């Protein structure tokens, strides 16, 4: 995946993200309800987007003295937006594969629906492991390979290009954590969003900046006619007058030993 395109795509979505991000809100809430750490002193949010996770962390720990919240994102405009709308953290524009922090800095690292954009999960887990204190924990929500399978199948009936982002499967996370000697617990859930039309789904994906970054844009007449063919094919999934869009959400709980 091309990081410049990912950063640009999310930067362009900074102002529309919150209107289209109900699933992201729900997943982040679910993620933050999972940890039972009592008083973390130093916390990092990786891929903080518009700062929703930072707001929640601040609400959870604001009565606690001296808690230090850091947040990073690859997209400069996301960082700007978060600084203005969730001014409870020290923000930096940075890459999850190269965290700008010293070893053993954090008690708690969270990352909600950001790490599916990374190609090298060994590298990101190694960075998380490096920055966690001993016994520190990371809570990650990411997307699995079955995500948007309806859209993938609908496109497959049109051409052989990659139209939907390719995400890592659970086995890859397991293998990577094992190699790094990290303790890992995994949960998985399926969330199905319902849309009236494929256009509505495409608008949500564009609104959060999550449209496909694996290939060049196919605009013009060919692009339009292919999109129509894909829409027709997606209609085969219609049930009770709505079109489902399935997300496979993977929750990882990592403990640094």
Ligand X SMILES: C[S@@+](CC[C@H](N)C(=O)[O-])C[C@H]1O[C@@H](n2cnc3c(N)ncnc32)[C@H](O)[C@@H]1O
CB of 159 to ligand X, least distance (A): 26
Q: Per-residue x/- marks for ligand X, 27-66, CB under 6 A?
A: -x-----------------xxxx--xx-------------
Tell me the site size for ligand X, rule CB under 6 A: 26
Measured distance CA(159)–CA(169) in Å, rounded: 24
To 10 degrees, what angle do helices 22-32 and 52-61 make?
30
Q: Which residues of 156-170 are buried (b: 16+ CB within 10 A; e: fewer)?
A: eebeeeebbbebbee
- All residues at 6 or more sequence positions from 251 whose CB lies less than 8 Å from its CB, including other chains: 30, 31, 34, 139, 140, 141, 186, 187, 188, 189
| Residue (52 or 233) nearer to ligand X, CB | 52
| CB-nearer residue toward ligand X: 11 or 233 | 11
53, 110 in Cβ contact below 8 A?
A: yes
Based on the shown chain and the rule CB under 6 A, indicate whether residue 204 belongs to the binding site for ligand X. no
User: Smallest distance from the beta carbon of 178 to ligand X, in angstroms?
Assistant: 23
Q: Which is nearer to ligand X, 56 or 233 (CB)?
A: 56
Q: What are phi and psi of 145, to 5 degrees?
A: -65, -20
At residue 34's C-alpha, the angle toward residues 194 and 201, to 5°, is 15
Asked if 144 interacts with ligand X (CB under 6 A), we say no
Name the 3-class secondary structure at 149: helix
Shortest gap between Cβ of 82 and ligand X (angstroms)?
9
State the binding string over 74-113 for ligand X (x if CB under 6 A, else -). Answer: xx--x----------------xxx--------------xx
* Residues found near ligand X in the complex (CB under 6 A): 6, 10, 21, 24, 28, 46-49, 52-53, 72-75, 78, 95-97, 112-114, 117-118, 208, 210
């Amino acid at each position: 995946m091309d990081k410049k395109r990912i950063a640009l795509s999310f930067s362009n979505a900074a102002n529309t993200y919150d209107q289209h991000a109900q699933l992201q809100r729900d997943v982040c809430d679910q993620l933050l309800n999972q940890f039972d750490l009592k008083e973390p002193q130093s916390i990092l949010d990786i891929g903080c987007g518009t700062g929703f996770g930072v707001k929640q962390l601040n609400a959870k720990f604001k009565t606690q003295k001296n808690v230090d919240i850091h947040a990073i994102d690859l997209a400069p405009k996301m960082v700007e937006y978060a600084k203005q709308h969730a001014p409870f953290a020290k923000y930096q524009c940075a890459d999850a594969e190269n965290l700008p922090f010293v070893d053993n800095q954090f008690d708690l690292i969270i990352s909600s629906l950001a790490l599916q954009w990374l190609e090298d999960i060994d590298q990101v887990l190694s960075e998380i492991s490096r920055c966690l204190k001993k016994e520190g924990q990371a809570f990650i929500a990411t997307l699995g390979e079955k995500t948007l399978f309806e859209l993938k199948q609908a496109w497959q009936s049109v051409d052989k290009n990659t139209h939907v982002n390719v995400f890592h499967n659970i086995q890859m996370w397991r293998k990577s954590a094992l190699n790094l000697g990290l303790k890992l617990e995994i949960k998985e859930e399926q969330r199905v969003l319902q849309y009236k039309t494929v256009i509505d789904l495409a608008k949500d994906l564009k609104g959060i900046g999550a449209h496909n970054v694996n290939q060049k844009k196919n605009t013009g007449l060919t692009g339009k006619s292919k999109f129509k063919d894909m829409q027709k094919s997606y209609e085969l999934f219609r049930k009770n007058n709505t079109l489902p869009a399935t997300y496979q959400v993977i929750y990882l709980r990592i403990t640094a030993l």
